[in-house]
Amino acid sequence: EKLDLSNNNLTGEVPEFLGNIKTLLFINLSGNDLNGSIPQALQRKRVELLLHGNPRLCHLTDSCTKPHSKKFPVAIVASVACMAILVAVLVLFLVFRKKKLSTLEAQQLPPMANVTSADSHEPLVEMKSRRFTYSEIIRMTNNFQRILGKGGFGMVYHGTTLNGSQEVAVKVLSQSSTQGYKEFKAEVDLLLRVHYTNLVSLVGYCYEGDHLGLIYEFLPNGDVKQHLSGKGGKSNINWGIRLRIALEAAQGLEYLHTGCTPPMVHRDVKTANILLDENLKAKLADFGLSRSFQVGGESEDATVVGTLGYLDPEYYHERRLSEKSDVYSFGIVLLEMITNQPVINQTLHITQWAGFKINRGDITEIMDPNLCNNYDSNSTWRALELAMSCANPSSSKRPSMSKVVNELKECIEGISKNPGLGSQEVTTCLDTSVVPRAR
């Protein structure tokens, strides 16, 4: 913070206590009649200090000799007065700053409350969220004992609500995070007013000084990316379950686009942001980059955010953001779930790789080998065509998420007629030559 006391006819010595105020980064004492030496604490402190216009002030303590004065009592009185003025200014500054922060907090983060959906026929879950203190977060996580993962916002820890009734995932802002209060507020604001069965539920949040935290329901089966790669001991999932997961993620996006007022764009749709509960039910997560948009319109974005490989090329190059940006990202997700190929393999994007394989016309070259050829070719071709349609470079040629949902439902209806392919069990290919590839 700054302290400007220039040109105030201040006399006496520079007070020692200024060097002990940790929040001060800039002090301007120029244009006064200060004398004596600069306190050692100020010389050691990394603070910008302006002292010009004080001819009787010594800048180095070892070269400063205090002149004897016959007006010694007057100098003491002046020094005391100077210190009193400085203390009064600092007290007023700190009180005003604290009051301003409290007012800002109250205005920008309203208490959590129940919300309703603009689309009453969609399945909703009652919102039961509240604000937690940082000490409660520490108790929930057992002093941050078990790490679940790490993201752009910070570390994610496993925890349990204080009454022991629910497992939770606690996301805590890291001091080195590239994200911050803006992303934190965006996520709280969104999950305060929307709550849908295929969106991860917010249990509560923490906003206490520099401590920011988000508390979610805990989804024990990790994310889709882990299941595709086999990382973290996750099992491979069969074709029927992959289609159902894709449908549930699509329904979450459809709700953001058509069930919210105003509509929302997620802006970071990827397999790592599709979480799975104990029944492998899919829920979209990580809404820190989401933002609203006008129905049927586009918005200009000065800063492009998202994950490389999943980014809509029109949004990336032209800064044009719309709901079709999410559609593109979902197309990449669907391709990843079909092929289990990396989104970017050296210089080759997954859409280019799939395009080459599609031209050869052999579905077995495209499908994830971990599926062990246990899939219905009609549904796979249909899902592949849908994925490529979503990932069209031109946003005007991409389908809406409502159409994507309908197409995926028809794919699932097709395989449900084949008893061997519609199973909801998790299967693992036993052929060691096609075990999940680490990526």
pLDDT value at residue 94: 67
Q: How many domains does the chain have?
A: 3
Same domain, 92 and 161: no
Residue 155: enclosing H or E segment and its boundaries? strand 154-160
Q: Let me know whether 298 and 178 are in one domain.
A: no
- Residue numbers belonging to the annotated binding site for ATP: 171
Q: Are residues 100 and 152 in the same domain?
A: no
pLDDT of residue 430: 40
CATH, residue 290: 1.10.510.10
Residue 209 lies in a domain: yes
Phi and psi dihedrals of 2, rounded to 5? Answer: -110, 145
The runs of H, that is alpha helices, within 272-370 are 313-318, 323-339, 350-360
Same structural domain, 292 and 420: yes
280: which 2 tokens?
Answer: 């492998």
What is the extent of the structural domain holding 414?
224-434
pLDDT of 309 > 90? The answer is yes
Convert the pLDDT of each residue in 58-74 to its tens digit: 765 444 554 444 445 66
237 in the same domain as 204: no
Rounded CA-CA distance 428/120 in Å is 39
Q: What amino acid occupies position 45?
A: K
Name the domain boundary from 217, 242, 260.
Answer: 217
pLDDT in tens, 384-427: 999 999 999 999 999 999 999 999 999 999 887 665 554 444 44
C-alpha pair distances (Å), 39 with each of 19, 25, 35, 59, 317:
7, 16, 12, 10, 55
CA torsion 242-366-317-180 (nearest 10°) is 40
Assigned domain for 118 exists: no
Confidence of residue 177 (pLDDT cuts 50, 70, 90): low
- Shared-domain flag, residues 289 and 426: yes
Average per-residue pLDDT in the chain? 79
Residue 123: inside a domain, yes or no?
no
268 has catalytic annotation? yes
Residue 290 lies in a domain: yes
pTM for this model (two decimals): 0.67
Query: Is 138 among the domain residues?
Result: yes
290 shares its domain with 418: yes
User: Binding site: residue ranges?
Assistant: 171
Residue 132, burial from CB neighbour count under 10 angstroms (0-12, 13-18, 19+): buried
Contact 220, 269 (CB under 8 A): no
Of 189, 217, 245, the last residue of a domain is 217
Q: Are residues 104 and 38 in the same domain?
A: yes
What beta strand segments (E) does 362-432 contain?
none
Q: Of 158 and 28, which is predicted with more confidence?
A: 158
pLDDT of residue 300: 57
The answer to whether 329 touches 350, Cβ cutoff 8 Å, is: no
**CATH classification of the domain holding 23:** 3.80.10
Q: Which residues contact 148 (CB under 8 A, 6 or more apart)?
A: 156, 157, 158, 169
Using DSSP, state whether 173 is helix, strand or coil.
Answer: strand
Given this model, what pLDDT does residue 256 score?
A: 93
423/230: higher pLDDT: 230
**Across the chain, how many H-helices and E-strands are there?**
11, 20
Among 381, 334, 376, residue whose Cα is nearest residue 228: 334
- Domain end, chosen from 217, 233, 265, is at 217
- Pick the residue with more confidence: 98 or 33? 33
Q: In this structure, what token pair is assigned to residue 236?
A: 């491979």
Neighbouring residues of 68: CB distance < 8 A, sequence distance ≥ 6: none
More confident residue, 177 or 172: 172
- pLDDT, residue 121, reads 35
58: which residues sit within 8 A by CB, 6+ positions away? 35, 36, 37, 38, 64
Indicate whether 363 and 419 sit together in one domain: yes
CB atoms within 10 A of CB 90: 17
Question: Of 364, 391, 383, 373, whose CA–CA distance to 429 is shortest?
Answer: 373
Q: Are 187 and 215 in contact (CB under 8 A)?
A: no
Please tell me whether residues 201 and 243 are part of one structural domain.
no
Nearest to 250 by CA among 226, 221, 224: 224
What is the DSSP annotation of 292-313? E--TT--EE-SS--S-TTTS-H
Res 111: pLDDT: 44
User: Which residues are bridge partners to 167 per DSSP?
Assistant: 160
Give yes or no for residue 349 having a pLDDT over 90: yes
Higher pLDDT, 351 or 9: 351
Q: What is residue 105's DSSP assignment?
A: H
- Of the candidates 93, 85, 88, 102, the one whose C-alpha atom is nearest the C-alpha of residue 26 is 93
Instruction: Inform me whether the pLDDT recorded for 164 exceeds 60.
Output: yes
Question: Could you tell me which of 117, 105, 389, 138 has the C-alpha nearest to residue 255?
Answer: 117
How confident is residue 104, by pLDDT bands cut at 50, 70 and 90? very low
User: Which element (helix H / strand E) includes 81?
Assistant: helix 72-108
User: Residues 329, 330, 336, 338: what is their CA dihedral angle, to the nearest 10 degrees?
Assistant: -150
Q: In 10 A of CB 94, how many CB atoms?
A: 13
Indicate if 193 and 286 belong to the same structural domain. Answer: no
- Residue 170 is part of a domain; what is its CATH number? 3.30.200.20
Above 80 in pLDDT, residue 48? no
Is residue 96 a part of any domain in this protein? yes
- Residue at 43 is within a domain: yes
Same domain (yes/no): 362, 289? yes
Main-chain phi, psi angles of 123, to 5 degrees: -65, 125
Which residue out of 223, 268, 286, 326 is catalytically annotated?
A: 268
Q: Annotate 113-151 with DSSP letters as a single string.
A: -----SSTTS-------EEE-HHHHHHHTTTT--EEEE-
Report the Cα–Cα distance between both ends of the chain, in Å, rounded: 47
Q: Is residue 19 part of a domain?
A: yes
